[in-house]
Amino acid sequence: MAPMIWAAVLATSWQGCGEGSATSSAGNDAVVPETTGSVVTANTPVTITQAPAAALFLEQEQVDEILDDLDSYFTAQNQGDWDAILDFYPLHRSPMDSTTRATTIEGMNTWWEKGLRNQTELADLLYASTPYRDGDQDVVLLNLDLLHRVIFIDFEGNPSGMKGMVESNYGKGNAQFFSEEGDPKVEYWEVRGDNRLWAVKEVGSDHWCFLPANFNERGGGQFMTVDAMTTLLRHRSENDPNRLR
């Protein structure tokens, strides 16, 4: 479950950070309820902002590029457009052929059809580190004030027991569980608060890709060196006024 939620949440793909594929996904609008209770809507819009007092340690032009790509990333996630989502995974570090891509899209569609949704409503940029040149890529550590929901629609299982998984992705103390009875039944974890996110792009590219804060817990060591991680985590601890405690 957790790797699939990572893929669905972070939509992260696999040239710079995205390469065309014969496999296409136009999103899953047809299977999203127009409205259920108060949280599940078709094509939930995402609002990406930069906090007025954001602590930024790179050029504003680069910040704008990151925010534009972050908007596209979360929009694709909300729509269940897995082909678009995969274009925000660091392909230069984890090549994906057309067969693997098609299989990945099929797998994410399976969880969507089972009732799993990831819905980001708001991401406000609080901090962006200085860029770190990590071999063939540049890495920037972000801190966002995030409003995100992991939603389960008529889901077979125990969503209320997934607190550990949700907090692993979004930070301890940031998640609250809700349940809305009805037809369909909607249960969800709502995340509000600071959330770290890694932005990476291949040198020479202007397209940013994204990795969750805990990507290295899932065997993702190829995505970033230890030096890059420790340097930027130290930078954040010394320079982000909103850093996680």
| DSSP secondary structure, the chain, as one string | -HHHHHHHHH-----TT----S------GGGS-SEETTTEETT---EEEEEEEEEE-S-HHHHHHHHHHHHHHHHHHHHT-HHHHGGGS-TTTS---HHHHHHHHHHHHHHHHTTEEEEEEEEEEEEEPPPEEETTEEEEEEEEEEEEEEEEES-SS-GGG-HHHHHHHH-TT-EEEEEE-SSS-EEEEEEEEEEEEEEEEETT----EEEETTGGGGT-GGGS-HHHHHHHHHHHHHH-TT---
Identify whether 28 is part of a domain. no
Least confident of 15-29, 60-74, 163-177, 208-222: 15-29
Q: Which residue has the higher pLDDT, 35 or 50?
A: 50
Q: Binning pLDDT at 50, 70 and 90, where does residue 113 land?
A: very high
Give me the pLDDT at residue 27, please: 58
Residues of the chain with pLDDT > 70, as a percent, come to 81
| pLDDT of the residue at 145 | 95
Q: Determine, yes or no, domain membership for 244.
A: no
Which stretch, 14-23, 58-67, 100-109, has highest mean pLDDT? Answer: 58-67
Whether residue 68 lies inside any domain: the answer is yes
pLDDT at 51: 96
**Has residue 95 been placed in a domain?**
yes
40 pLDDT band, cuts 50/70/90, is low
- Cα 99 to Cα 5: distance, rounded to the nearest angstrom: 21
* Whether residue 164 has pLDDT greater than 80: yes
pLDDT, one tens digit per residue, over 43-54 is: 688 999 999 999
- The whole-model pTM stands at 0.84
Mean pLDDT along residues 35-46: 65
Residue 27: inside a domain: no
**Within a domain: residue 192?**
yes
Residue 120 counted as domain residue: yes
Look at residue 15 in the predicted model and tell me its pLDDT.
27
In sequence order, the 6+-apart residues with CB closer than 8 A to the CB of 27 are 43, 76, 79, 80, 81, 84
- What's the number of domains the chain is made of? 1
24 or 191: which leads in pLDDT? 191
pLDDT in tens, 142-153: 999 999 999 999
pLDDT at 1 over 90: no
Quick one: pLDDT at residue 231?
A: 97
Instruction: State which residues form the domain around 136.
Output: 2-20+34-239
Which tens digits make up the pLDDT trace of 92-105? 898 889 999 999 99
Q: Is residue 26 part of a domain?
A: no
Q: For residue range 223-242, list pLDDT tens digits in order.
A: 999 999 999 999 999 999 87
What does the pLDDT look like over 72-83, one tens digit per residue? 999 999 999 999
